[in-house]
Structure 1
């Protein structure tokens, strides 16, 4: 071999020994270097599809094909990035619009809750057009709460059979009828019927609204939208309080029909839950809904739809195998279907975790402050409730809940459910404990210090408002919000209906028993109980509450279905380390 040939061969070996460096790798080495050539005048570029390295000198970068390839690739990357941002923006706007309609419905359901606070004072005033004694007033106030559990249990199977959107539409019919009955009521019986219908609707609305929000929202936005229901609920109470300060109770009832009438027609133009459509073997309709909710991003929709269809098929196959196993191996009567559902680990685990959380929430005084806020302040300060503007205090309480609920929604974008719940539990504990210490110290006061005064009353009212704020931040907001996240999609409607029915019964029982219990324990005893329950709630959240932030619904369902995932500290960490950007 000639010396020239040897030199050429050696040159070729040296050229092939150079590493292949992509533009991305070059930029990682030098963050300020953005063009194709380095400071020495050389740049290493991988040109696809042939994966051939080219050593290009700055002075000789005249190869037009390479420049065109780089320029075209760069433009294509920019174009794809712009399309992705555009579809993400459209998806966010679409989800905001759908959720805004749902929030309108939740706001409408909050208005009957606060209506009795402005109705009864007007009915029992000397110039009332419908004079009312204490017996009728008790019926008017309480019948609303007795009807809510019936609405909750009915909404469950309706969600699974008719769909989330259709159930919401049907739930608006009794609330419109209820407000109409109340605005035109010629006597107490018609007024009570109106309150009964409104209470029935209020029981129906939380389940489908929470489930629909969870199923149409992307994981990263689900916490924001789901928690806004608490703010909407408080807003409804605020609206009826504000209207009741200057308007007659019949006019307020007429105004109450506006939001549900608007919502019932707007719902016709909104998409149904893609999860429900897939479970009903309607994937084409589910795809159309997903295209609208995901800003037209075809690839994202295809991946999400593939995951939903695969998960639905897996669940149905398991159910079929279980049924065949029961029929083949037993001679006794088949187990009732509802019992089969409730004994599945992916059902009973989240059911009892959320139910226990709700029980602790109620016992911590979350709903007592809604119904007995003025009584709490007057009993703690040893003053008469007649010395206060009851409606003003009720407005302040609702306003605090509304503002804190919005803050919670913003925090859920960055913080997990567990962190917010623990912070809320600690804050509630400190607020209640401070109030107990203050009241206990006042019990030893003598002379003029022992007498009721404005300073003590303001301190007590301020501490109670702090308690309301810290309690609303997590303990009040999280349980119902998480119902739409943790329950399995195939029975999310039915099981959430049962769960909400039990919750409504617990709320009704607690609020009915509170006056008797408060008479026995006294203010110090009541807030000591609230303090103790807040401590237990904080420990419970730390031990048992799962973290669902940014996690797909299918992954949350699998978390409960496999292993012994009861205590969060002993969870299946391999399962929870899956990529968070998996599709629903």
Structure 2
């Protein structure tokens, strides 16, 4: 769960960074020693670039998570944020700042994906705690960004903010793959091994993993849905309020 907490800490930096960047690039450049200058309109575009690409990331990440697994998607989300910070820290002009923020926006769907991961990797009795704690980590990241913004330049802040996503991506290397995803893919032996690594070998864990594997075997034995039927089902799902509400939140997050 530590990588998920670092991911939310990283999101806190991303959300709060305009409070540090905007005054620096729209002022006279002396406070933070910056050579990059921008109008208020340009600074507003830089701040909003994260939310502008957030919708695209929200649409892309869940299918990729189903195709390539939870470890892949968690590492990818954090590497995207890390790459954005490197681009911002080395940025010589406003368009490059805009590009760095836009790239980071592709990871925005991770706020919702991390809740799925918390559910799949943690014990049912502790899931509520982890979900609340990772949300708190976002607020802590915002607090650190605002606090250090008084003493660090916007470039130094970008370098500091690159640490949490780097640690999150590195920590993912030591994860086992999600048992739920392995069962979904029909890799039941690997599912059992992963589940035991995460939850142990007590009777409750054995019962839960047996139910998981049994349920997935039943689903796999059912008649496969035709591609046309699958497309119609996905289109209907995209029209539901369960999809439209979080999708709207992503688009409007920084408006």
Q: TM-score, normalised by structure 2?
A: 0.89
Q: Out of 213, 216, 224, which is 1:312 matched to? A: 216
> Which residue number in structure 2 is paired with residue 239 of structure 1?
144
| Contact 1:139/1:192 (8 A) holds in 2 | yes
Q: TM-score, normalised by structure 1?
A: 0.41
For residues 502 and 311 of structure 1, do their structure 2 counterparts lie closer, same or farther at Cα, with a shift above 3 Å needed?
A: farther
Identify unmatched segments of 5+ residues in structure 2: none
> Which residue number in structure 1 is paired with residue 25 of structure 2?
123
Deviations 1:373-411 (A, max 9, x none): xxxxxxxxxxxxxxxxxxxxxxxxxxxxxxxxxxxxxxx
> Which residue number in structure 1 is paired with residue 103 of structure 2?
197
| Contact 1:110/1:232 (8 A) holds in 2 | yes
For residues 503 and 135 of structure 1, do their structure 2 counterparts lie closer, same or farther at Cα, with a shift above 3 Å needed?
A: closer
1:262 equivalent in alignment to 2:167? yes
1:138 equivalent in alignment to 2:44? yes
**Larger RCO, structures 1/2 (Cα 8 Å, 6+ apart):** 2
Deviations 1:342-393 (A, max 9, x none): 65xxx799x63x458x5xxxxxxxxxxxxxxxxxxxxxxxxxxxxxxxxxxx
After TM superposition, the structure 1 = structure 2 runs for residues 105-254 of structure 1, keeping only pairs within 5 Å, are: 105-126=7-28, 127=30, 128-201=34-107, 203-254=108-159
> Which residue number in structure 1 is paired with residue 4 of structure 2?
102
For residues 308 and 147 of structure 1, do their structure 2 counterparts lie closer, same or farther at Cα, with a shift above 3 Å needed?
A: same
Count how many residue pairs are aligned between Structure 1 and Structure 2: 251
Kindly report the root-mean-square deviation, in angstroms, between the aligned alpha carbons of the 2 structures: 2.3
After TM superposition, the structure 1 = structure 2 runs for residues 390-429 of structure 1, keeping only pairs within 5 Å, are: none
Structure label with greater radius of gyration:
1
* Paired residue secondary structure (1:245): coil
Q: Out of 225, 228, 232, which is 1:335 matched to? A: 228
* Paired residue secondary structure (1:287): helix
Q: Distance in 2 between matches of 1:224 and 1:248?
A: 35
| Contact 1:278/1:286 (8 A) holds in 2 | yes
Q: Distance in 2 between matches of 1:289 and 1:134?
A: 51
| Contact 1:112/1:199 (8 A) holds in 2 | no
Deviations 1:503-527 (A, max 9, x none): 312x25xx64xxxxxxxxxxxxxxx
* CA-CA distance at 1:319 after TM superposition: 4.7
> Which residue number in structure 2 is paired with residue 497 of structure 1?
none
Runs of 4+, deviation exceeding 6 Å: none
* Paired residue secondary structure (1:119): helix
* Paired residue secondary structure (2:173): helix
Q: Distance in 1 between matches of 2:91 and 2:46?
A: 12
Identify unmatched segments of 5+ residues in structure 1: 1-98, 324-333, 359-499, 513-584
